[in-house]
Chains A and B, each alone.
Chain A
Amino acid sequence: MEKNINFLIEAGKLKKILRSGFLWLGVKNPETIAQHIFRVAVLNWILALKNKPSLNLEKIIKISLVHDLCEVYAGDMSPYWGLLPKNKKKRKEILKRWIRLPQKIKEKRAKIKFKKEKEALQKLVKHLSPELKSEIMGCWFDYEGMKSREGVFVKQGDKVETLIQAIEYWGTVPDSPVVGWWEEIEEAVDNPALSAFLGRIEQRFYRNNKKINGDIDFLLKIGKLKGMVRKGWTLREVKNGSTVAEDAFFLAITVWILNKRKKLNLEKMLKMSLVYEICEVYAEDKTPYEEILPNKKSERKKILERWPRFSKNVKIKRFAKDYKEEKKSLSLLTSGLSKNLREEIIYLWDNCKKRKSPEGNFVNQIYWVTMTMQALEYWKKNNDFPILGWIEQMAEFIDDPIALDFLNILYKKYRLVEKI
């Protein structure tokens, strides 16, 4: 279990690694790799549903989660690595267009990149069980080498997600860096479901056809979660705390790793992890503290140190209120999707929120475990971070033996008892 924790701590660093292409182009606070992976996974899942013949969705989501994992150690090697001049103006000019290189150079660069990334991923998974190691490496080889239909789909879907992000940063003005992504995409994407989606993007953004909504609107809206910092961190004065999208990525990968012991329906749990908090696009990210926190800083700190206590009636009322708001938000958010997909997303969320099935119960508990893991990281960096309330909460919220085992090892690893 400790080896799994070490792997997850390292994978969690993707919450802090910025995407180099956007950074080089001068975007202030561009998205992180973890934020990108989150929407790649959702995009590939919902667009893969339109693919004929049908694709293995569990594999689609797993490959999406793994596709940039190597960047923990290899960094984000965009296609422009090593080719950009120091002069910012010249650099931006080059970045505006898709890079054109002779075939031999392309092959040479691809080999170097592949080797570096493969070694980085091998280093990351080194201490995992042989089964997990080969599963993760297998997904990555599948993606890199486009060895299965799912690998091909994710490879192309990754580029589509980046294009959407570029449009969100620069819009559709002529001569913007978005042109470069279109050039790349036109060479790289041939899947009919993804091509049809690109057609809808073109209609919506370049022909201003406002009737084109549905999946585009949904993906644009969940894109807001990339920058939505968790209120729990802001209240505790964490600077640049993790965002909803980053936490969803981290939850999905943690559930996958821990399911090797749990052995539940992984596809269902990966989907649950991705959609559990998407309602926050409209529903406010809430914590139990807001209603009771005074304005005075010293008093606020005192309250935040412990898990807040409420009567049974208050708990029931608050849960019912949150549930209603979140469900309403989710209905609005998914309104443009197909009926089946919409119902599935609401079902998965409800299942997890109310812990209705073994999968819902497990994902709900692992969600809290991953939040505690993040809290411990903040506490490690700043011992003023109020950690005790988390620990109290976990003793009441968690009863799954695997989750409890995970927490106990986590507490030992962070030397909680010695330090408090």
Chain B
Amino acid sequence: MNIEKKFYLTAKGLENIKKEYKVLRALRAVKIDGEAPRVLESEDLNPEFVSFREDVGLLDQRIAELENILKNVKLIKFPSKEKRNIIRLGADVVVDVGGNKDEFKIVGTLEANPSLGKISNESPVGRALLGRRVGDEAVISSPIEVIYKIKKIRYES
């Protein structure tokens, strides 16, 4: 049985994906029909999309990827107030690692950027933190044991 992968996105992440999809569709129309949609005049679109200008193959490939994401998207919703003491997708977590404080946001793989403190729920640390509460310890053994003591859990958009 082919189970399609779900893509977990925050509302902001979904908005970005939809925006990119809209722009790329418009770019494609420029290539195929020669029309110049106004959406391409937006300042924040350069230079990310311009490189597609010469390559329809790349453009189509990315459009297909985005369609697949939009088809299988699962919006990350914050849990009800009484369950916000548990780490789930979208949680901001403060941890203590070997006496040092660190902060992460747990996101889906599409939005992960550890340099920005956004940890994927599929990374060893992300997996170990999910379901934990304040006071719990998440032990990572991949392969060296590192203990993450959970100090604070918040849900902020």
Task: Give me the interface of A with B, judged by CB distance under 8 Å.
Answer: 265, 268, 306-312, 315-316, 318-319, 340, 343-344, 346-348, 350-351, 354-358, 361, 388, 391-401, 404, 407-408, 411-412, 416-417, 420
Contact = CB atoms under 8 A, between A and B. Distances in A.
A324 B125 CA distance: 28
B65 A340 contact: no
A316 B125 contact: no
Given A357-B65, A388-B144, A417-B144, A312 B50 contact: no
A392 B100 CA distance: 13
B117 A315 contact: yes
Interface in B109-157: 109-110, 112-117, 119-126, 140, 142-144, 146
B47 interface: yes
Interface of B: 46-48, 50-51, 53-54, 58, 61-62, 65, 92, 97-98, 100-105, 109-110, 112-117, 119-126, 140, 142-144, 146
A318 B104 CA distance: 15
A395 B61 contact: no
Contacts of A398: 123-124
Nearest to A339: B50
A400 B62 CA distance: 19
Given A355-B113, A395-B124, A309 B146 contact: no
Contacts of B61: 265
B48 A350 contact: yes
Nearest to B144: A391
A401 B97 CA distance: 25
A416 B100 contact: no
A340 B113 contact: no
Nearest to B57: A265
Nearest to A401: B122
Given A309-B101, A311-B103, A395 B146 contact: yes
B2 to A, nearest CB: 16
Given A310-B102, A357-B62, A391 B142 contact: yes
Smallest CB-CB A-B distances: 10 pairs: A399-B120, A309-B100, A309-B102, A399-B122, A399-B123, A347-B51, A312-B103, A395-B124, A315-B117, A344-B51
Nearest to B105: A312
A268 B51 CA distance: 11
A395 B120 contact: no
Given A355-B112, A395-B123, A397-B123, A311 B101 contact: yes
B119 A420 contact: no
B123 A309 contact: no
Given A319-B115, A408-B143, 12 more contacts: A307-B97, A309-B97, A309-B100, A315-B115, A340-B53, A347-B48, A355-B112, A392-B146, A397-B123, A398-B123, A399-B126, A411-B142
Contacts of A351: 48
B100 A306 contact: yes
12 contacts: A319-B113, A340-B53, A344-B51, A347-B48, A351-B48, A354-B113, A361-B109, A391-B146, A392-B97, A396-B119, A399-B126, A411-B142
Given A315-B117, A346-B47, A268 B58 contact: yes
A2 B146 CA distance: 26
A357 B16 CA distance: 12
A360 to B, nearest CB: 11
B109 A420 contact: no
A340 B51 CA distance: 7
Contacts of A411: 142-143
Contact of B142 (A268, A340, A388, A408): A408
A319 B54 contact: no
B109 A343 contact: no
Contacts of A420: 144
Nearest to A357: B62
Contacts of A348: 51
B57 to A, nearest CB: 9
Contacts of B121: 399
Nearest to A404: B124
A396 B114 contact: yes
A354 to B, nearest CB: 6
A403 B70 CA distance: 25
A331 to B, nearest CB: 9
B81 to A, nearest CB: 22
B146 A312 contact: no
Contacts of A357: 62, 65
Contact of A319 (B65, B116, B119): B116
Contacts of B101: 309, 311
A416 B126 CA distance: 22
Nearest to B102: A309
A344 B52 CA distance: 8
A192 B140 CA distance: 57
A42 B116 CA distance: 30
A400 B144 CA distance: 19
Most buried by A among B100, B104, B105: B100
A327 to B, nearest CB: 10
B30 to A, nearest CB: 15
